[in-house]
Amino acid sequence: MKLADLDIIVTAPPAPGWGGRYWILVKLTTDTGITGWGEVYAASVGPDAMRSVISDVFERHMAGENPENIELMFRRAYSAGFTQRPDLTVMGAFSGLEIACWDILGKDRDRPVWALLGGLMNDRIRAYTYLYPEPDDPDIGGFWNDADRTAEAAARAVKDGWTAVKMDPAGPYTIRGGHMPSMSDISRSVRFCRAVRAAVGDRADILFGTHGQFTPAGAIRMGQALEPYLPLWFEEPIPPDNPLDFARVAAAVRIPLATGERATTRAEFATLLRAGGVEILQPALGRAGGIWEGRKIAAVAEAFGAQVAPHLYAGPVEWAANLHLSAAIPNLLLAETIATPFHDALIKGSIRVEAGHVRAPQGPGLGIDVDEALARAHPYTGDALHLSMQEAPCDYAQENRFEGGAPPKP
């Protein structure tokens, strides 16, 4: 069995676009006719350029290869061009292709991917949800700075069975790197934590998200203000290019630090662990190197007493990959979930959240049934990136607003 053909589909979820502006799906077919699906997470180049990168990685390192030889193909891509170091774009391309290889291998053996990773550790995977406004909310924009409405969303989530909810009211993330939070950003974040804690009590964990927007000193000021509300984690409080500085924040803040959605390969995750301070790793498997690399990241984390919470701001194919890793590892904490009608339709309801948990997929491969026609019927035609950072600095006079990762309205 050899890898023969590659197809790439860039599909755009309908507004408001939870999960990003577009999702890059890859479809690999073997010379024996087996098809595998993968997903490339957000890249630092546009989708047309990323198509070329994915095609180059496939043709150069994978075409004609046995899909079993994942380690060999990883080493080819990781070492390409005399690098042997984490390369976000190349490893993002490889990650999606690697996930598709696991889908092929599982289908060839008529076994779920988790069975090929060491077997089943977690048959029921605890998940968490971001706190979103209702789809018919007439003032979606106002939701993001309204602590009371967010608390109502948290109460609804707990009623539906969720035991962990995430929010990120801490202000803007900008191209300028870390900044000192404004006092209004700190006050708003405290209001949100107080309101959500009052709404959920001890029935759910609060996950406090940020996007690497603070300096270490700014992260410490923000984190210390949130300590009374016992968040389960303080997510990526400083930029990901400062891995050693996480230890400075952890030494001063009594909330576990989580990070990893923008990291790739075990090399970067191991540096975080060796530096100390990060207790929860959040690999996005469509960027971190794929499922096998994710399994290695989890093993390294286990040796440091750290836990894994696979990150998801993408489509349901990466979600399926995350769930198979989650099912197989002993140090799972949580798995992120985005449950929209489009996510569900794209895999024909083949994975569902029930009372805040997901059953380990049982079908062969990734255990999903991709609606290829639906994906092709929603092509991305824009030229923006999957996610964007604002150029304007933090505003210390007026209220800052972050709208939950939703792409701006046309």
User: Which residues are known to be catalytic?
Assistant: 211, 311
- Planar angle of CA 310, 13, 393, nearest 5 degrees: 70
Which residue type sits at 302?
Answer: E
The C-alpha atoms of residue 410 and residue 286 are separated, in whole angstroms, by 28
78 three-class SS: helix
Contact, 299 vs 269, CB < 8 A? no
Token digits of residue 9: 């589909």
Whole-number CA gyration radius for the chain:
20
Q: What DSSP string runs through 347-406?
A: TTT-S-EETTEEEPP-SSBT-----HHHHHHSB----S-SS--BSSPPPSSS-----TTP
How many residues make up the chain in this entry?
Answer: 410
Residues with Cβ within 8 Å of 62's Cβ and at least 6 positions away in sequence, in order, are: 3, 73, 76, 97, 101
Which residue type sits at 154?
Answer: A
Token digits of residue 66: 């046995």
Q: Measuring CA to CA, how many Å separate 336 from each of 89, 101, 222?
A: 23, 23, 24
